[in-house]
Amino acid sequence: MPDTTKVVPLTCHGHSRPVPHIHFSALQDEEQYYIISACKDGNPMLRDGLTGDWIGTFLGHKGAVWQARLSSDASLAATASADFSAKVWDTHTGEALHTLTHDHIVRAVAFPNQQQPQILATGGKEKKMRIFDLNNPSQPYEIGGGVHGDTIKSIVWTADPSILVTASEDKKIRWWDLRTQSTIGEYAVEGPVGTCELDNTTSDGVLSVAAGNSVYFFNGNSPASLIKSIKTPYELASVALHSGQRRFVTGGSNQNDTWVRVWDFDAETELETNKGHHGPIWSASFSPDGKLYATGSEDGTVKLWKFTNGPYGLWK
């Protein structure tokens, strides 16, 4: 197990309201990657993923930002907002390149995993997914109208550019084929859906879902193929998997549960409890090199936790 227990996490301040989502870029070179945080203050922030240093704030939304993602090359950011829009940003200038208007609150955005981030998927209270070609964003096409029974909370693009996953408040995880614009798999979880994310430390792409008291791990290359589910004693809001270390971390949704927990994937046992946040932990993610993980909380902070032996980043 990485010797992380006694290391103080790095705390990223600057937000004034809860942080519902964080997302890392892919590795840009040996030790360079970025992290973006969504915030209910309407001002998503871009930071150096290794140090947490603030790079810039994207200004323009008029409502809470529920989700934020970076393209794999970190050249673009996308944000989903309560102001009935999604925005696409140039991460070098901070300029809003596109404002994609919707008919209701937007909760989810997703770029494809390949190096050409000119397509964006969005979803939210409209209960349907929209696919935008950013070269012609005025003509999106809609998928899943009438299928989702409630708000789409998360969209994940799999390694296959034709396959997407949606996680909805109707407690269903659905797999979609863009070629047929229809579902090719569905799985019902037991509780309210929290995070739904791909493991970004490996190309295998295990899909991790937090829902109710359980975590679910799906084969990212096989629709609705459950690897395992693990029931915990806690109400969960977030989960992140590190396939190589066979570890995962969880964050709770209960106002009184502010611990970040590290688990053994195979033994299904709790290994560490890390204190630092002062509210529920809505989002968790491992860095692309797997050497740290980040958490975003109701308390308005993002924390970076070391997950490797020896010196790394600012832990030197």
pLDDT at 104 over 70: yes
Backbone phi and psi for residue 143, each to the nearest 5 degrees, phi listed first? -130, 140
Q: In what order do the strands lie in the sheet with 302-306?
A: 10-12, 302-306, 292-297, 281-286
Look up residue 281 and give its amino acid.
I
- Under a CB-based contact definition with an 8 Å cutoff, are residues 160 and 221 in contact? yes
Query: Given pLDDT bands bounded at 50, 70 and 90, which one contains residue 116?
Result: low
pLDDT of residue 114: 73
Look up residue 259 and give its amino acid.
W
Half-sphere exposure of 310 (CA within 13 A, CB side): 0
Over residues 159-172, the mean pLDDT reads: 94
Rg of the chain, C-alpha, whole Å: 18
Query: What token pair was written down for 94?
Result: 């901070």
Query: What tens digit of pLDDT does each residue of 33-51 get?
Result: 999 999 999 999 999 999 9
3-state secondary structure 20-74: CEEEECCCCECCECEEEEECCCCCCEEEECCCCCEEEECCCCCCCEEEEEECCCC
pLDDT of residue 89: 98
Query: What tens digit of pLDDT does each residue of 198-214 get?
Result: 998 777 689 999 999 99
Cα 309 to Cα 17, 188, 214, 250, 313, distances in angstroms: 33, 38, 29, 21, 12
Q: Greater confidence, 2 or 98? A: 98
pLDDT of residue 31: 83
Arithmetic mean of pLDDT over the chain: 94
Round to whole Å and give the CA distance between 288 and 261. Answer: 20
Over residues 151-159, the mean pLDDT reads: 95
Q: What percent of the chain lies above the pLDDT cut of 70?
A: 97
Q: How far apart are the first and last CA of the chain?
A: 19
pLDDT at 1 over 60: no
pLDDT at 221 over 90: no
Query: What token pair was written down for 102?
Result: 């919707």
pLDDT at 163 over 90: yes
pLDDT of residue 117: 64
pTM for the model: 0.95
Among 64-78, 103-117, 139-153, the least confident range = 103-117
Measured in whole angstroms, how far is the alpha carbon of residue 153 from the centre of its chain? Answer: 10
Q: What percent of the chain lies above the pLDDT cut of 90?
A: 88
Over residues 255-266, the mean pLDDT reads: 95
Assigned fold of 10-306: Methylamine Dehydrogenase; Chain H (2.130.10)
pLDDT of residue 34: 97
Query: Given pLDDT bands bounded at 50, 70 and 90, which one contains residue 115?
Result: low
Query: What token pair was written down for 171?
Result: 């407690």
- Under a CB-based contact definition with an 8 Å cutoff, are residues 152 and 127 in contact? yes
Map tokens 């579902």 to a residue. 183
pLDDT of residue 29: 81
pLDDT of residue 295: 98
pLDDT of residue 6: 61
Query: What tens digit of pLDDT does each residue of 293-314 get?
Result: 999 999 999 999 999 998 999 9
Measured in whole angstroms, how far is the alpha carbon of residue 164 from the centre of its chain? Answer: 14
